[in-house]
Amino acid sequence: MNSNPHVVSDVMTRAVIAVGRDALFKDIVQLMERWKVSALPVLEGEGRVIGVVSEADLLPKEEFRDSDPDRFTQQRRLSDLAKAGAVTAEELMSSPAITVHGTTTLAEAARIMARRGVKRLPVIDDEGMLQGVVSRSDLLKVFLRNDEELTEEVRHEVVDRLFPLSADHIRVEVAEGVVTLTGWVDGPRLVPVAERLARAVEGVVDVRCHLSARLGAE
């Protein structure tokens, strides 16, 4: 993997199952079941994303199948009732789609998913063309980075840069993603910065900082 920050294009799935605006309800359900996905991008033309059909968009058809909703429910859930009668992707989809670009950081993609309550995001280029899909599980891939890789990045990106004069006196150990920094530095001022930067290395689970200032150092 590249040096941090990791971006969506590092982890996204490039082979994407998508549908056109005329795809039928049953076909959409069958595709979701076959490919074990909870949402499908809806495309037009050469692959421009115009919306997304999710399980949530399909459920009103089942929910309102036998019911005769009162006027209050009709007013409050106009959109869901419209979807209950929908038969094509264009009628079912949520539009405009919530999307990200390949250059979006994983942290920002995670925030968008959490804020908008979605599990998958289409990844588009500057023209709105589908490039891939990133899911919650994709965002967790950074935590699969091995301890040796994390040790090297913390040493190179944090210790060597912050403490060029005392780097040889600092020990970096990583076990199961938990970073431990021990040793002494020339001054205490940068110790909190080192802890913060080590924690920001993607794939790091936690940081235990035991750095102390050399006697007489400011």
3-state DSSP: the chain helix, strand, coil percent, rounded to 5? 45, 25, 30
Looking at residue 78, what is its pLDDT?
A: 54
Angle, CA 21 vertex, CA 104 and CA 46 arms, to 5°: 60
Looking at residue 213, what is its pLDDT?
A: 83
Along the 218 residues of the chain, how does pLDDT read in single tens digits?
445 568 999 999 999 999 999 999 999 999 999 999 999 999 999 999 999 999 988 887 766 555 565 666 555 665 665 667 788 999 999 999 999 999 999 989 999 999 999 999 999 999 999 999 999 999 998 888 899 999 999 999 999 999 998 899 999 999 999 999 999 988 788 999 999 999 999 899 999 999 998 765 55
101: Cβ contacts below 8 Å, ≥ 6 apart: 8, 123, 124, 125, 126
Contacts of 114-119 with CB under 8 Å at 24 or more apart are 118/39, 118/54, 119/38, 119/39
Rounded-to-integer distance, Cα 102 and Cα 126, Å: 10
pTM score: 0.73
